[in-house]
Amino acid sequence: MVQLTFVQGDITEQSVDAIVNAANSSLLGGGGVDGAIHRKGGPEILAACRELRAGHYGSGLATGQAVATTAGRLPARWVIHTVGPVWQPDEDLSALLASCYRESLRVADELGARTVAFPAISTGVYGWPMDDGARIALETVRETPTAVEEARFVLFGTDAYETFTAHR
């Protein structure tokens, strides 16, 4: 069973096998976690994402899917990019949010990663309510069969940290 740990801090500073990036579908960088990972990881990540775009992911990565690249200059081996859904109060997209975590663990298993750092996917600019996002994230990671030994939730800010730890 995967061990869940919680850290308040910067995901780009985590020494883990894989860091999960809350990416946009273009895979070419953006704001929030995505922008921070691209900035700190350096041009190697963008170059790897451009190669993905030139190949199988020419039209971008679909919401709920995940794919890995190098971690560039980050203290991790890989970045697993996943596209979270944008919150829609009149539409239940929780299965897509759960898929982000499940697919990220699948990719981590394919890579042989044993430690994975997750952000609070979709809870920033994509507007997903933090409490619901935490519940979905933790339930999904707990219920997904994986060889990953530690799923580290790296949460930016006190509110996110307190919300996630309340769902332990």
Q: Taking the domains of the chain in order of start, what are their residue ranges?
A: 3-166
Under the banding of pLDDT at 50, 70 and 90, the label for residue 21 is very high
Alpha helix positions (H), 43-129: 43-54, 94-111
Beta-ladder partners of 6: 153
- Number of Cβ within a 10 Å radius of residue 47: 12
CA–CA distance, 151 with 3 (Å, rounded to integer)? 6
- pTM reported for the whole predicted model: 0.97
In the predicted model, what is the mean pLDDT of residues 32-42? Answer: 95
**How confident is the model at residue 143, as a pLDDT?**
98
| pLDDT tens readout for residues 75-96 | 999 999 999 999 999 999 999 9
**How confident is the model at residue 59, as a pLDDT?**
84
CA–CA distance, 32 with 30 (Å, rounded to integer)? 7
134 half-sphere exposure, CB direction, 13 A CA radius: 18
Look at residue 161 and tell me whether its pLDDT is greater than 90. Answer: yes
Look at residue 149 and tell me whether its pLDDT is greater than 90. Answer: yes
| pLDDT tens readout for residues 92-120 | 999 999 999 999 999 999 999 999 999 99
Under the banding of pLDDT at 50, 70 and 90, the label for residue 57 is confident
CA–CA distance, 146 with 88 (Å, rounded to integer)? 30
Query: Please, are residues 82 and 104 in contact by the beta-carbon 8 Å criterion?
Result: yes
Catalytic residue among 10, 17, 34, 92: 34
Summary mean pLDDT of the chain: 96
Look at residue 56 and tell me whether its pLDDT is greater than 90. Answer: no
In the predicted model, what is the mean pLDDT of residues 33-55? Answer: 95
Q: What percent of the chain is modeled with pLDDT above 70?
A: 100
Look at residue 145 and tell me whether its pLDDT is greater than 90. Answer: yes
47, amino acid identity: A
Task: Answer yes or no: 10 catalytic.
Answer: no
Fold of 3-166: Leucine Aminopeptidase, subunit E; domain 1 (3.40.220)
Q: Which two tokens stand for residue 26?
A: 């273009």
